[in-house]
Amino acid sequence: MAIDKARLIEVVQNAGKSLTLQRCLIIETLAASKLPMSAYKLRDQINITQQNLNISTVYRVLDFWIGLGLIHKIESANRFMVCSDEHRHQFHVIQTCTQCENVRESCELASQITMQISHEFRALENQVIEIQGTCSDCQVNTDS
Ligand SMILES: [Zn+2]
Ligand SMILES: [Zn+2]
């Protein structure tokens, strides 16, 4: 997935922060990965070609992006992914395949939950809702 740099800059500036080299490096490396990555794998990937990032820096930068809703933590797998929903819904709904570890972020489900939730209950921003199951590719493989 290619990352929209203009949008990144906009979100970071709206939050009153700046886009540092490390922040850029981490979100771009994660965006280039097909599957969600652990913090350690992300660090190793970056350190092949770049500066020596230590793991606490990686976690700190991940937390920065998680706070802005541009990176999500997949709790069940302890891995990280770049948000693929450009509509900035209040919620992020992620379907994770327990067999191939593939993830799919559903903009459709996120907007439905946002519409359905009661106005009496004011939900926090940027919550990740994770749904575990089997993706369509893996369903085909087990059926045959
Ligand atoms: Zn998202
Ligand atoms: Zn799968």
Place of tokens 């540092």: 20
Ligand 2 centroid – CA 143 distance (Å): 13
Q: Give the pTM.
A: 0.88
5-82 and 91-135, same CATH topology? no
d(CA 66, CA 3): 16
Tell me the CA–centroid distance for residue 34 and ligand 2, in Å: 13
Percent of the chain with pLDDT over 90: 63
CATH 3.40.50.620 given to domain 91-135: no
Domain definitions of the chain by residue range: 5-82, 91-135
- CATH domain 5-82 topology: Arc Repressor Mutant, subunit A (1.10.10)
What gap in Å lies between CA 47 and CA 64, rounded to an integer? 20
Backbone φ and ψ for 78, nearest 5 degrees, come out as 55, 45
Ligand 1 centre to CA of 144 (Å) is 33
Confidence of residue 143 (pLDDT cuts 50, 70, 90): low
- Return all residues near 101 (Cβ < 8 A) that are at least 6 apart: 35, 36, 77, 79
Taking the centre of ligand 1 as the mean of its atom positions, its distance from the CA of residue 10, in whole angstroms, is 16
Residue type for 120, please?
E
Q: What six digits make up the tokens of 68?
A: 């802005």
Tokens 């379907």, residue?
A: 95
Using alpha carbons, select from 124, 20, 130, 1 the residue that is nearest to residue 64. 20
75-120 pLDDT, tens digit each: 988 999 999 887 777 889 999 999 998 999 999 999 998 888 888 8
> What CA–CA distance (Å, rounded) separates 30 from 20?
16
Burial of 26 (0-12, 13-18, 19+ CB in 10 A): buried
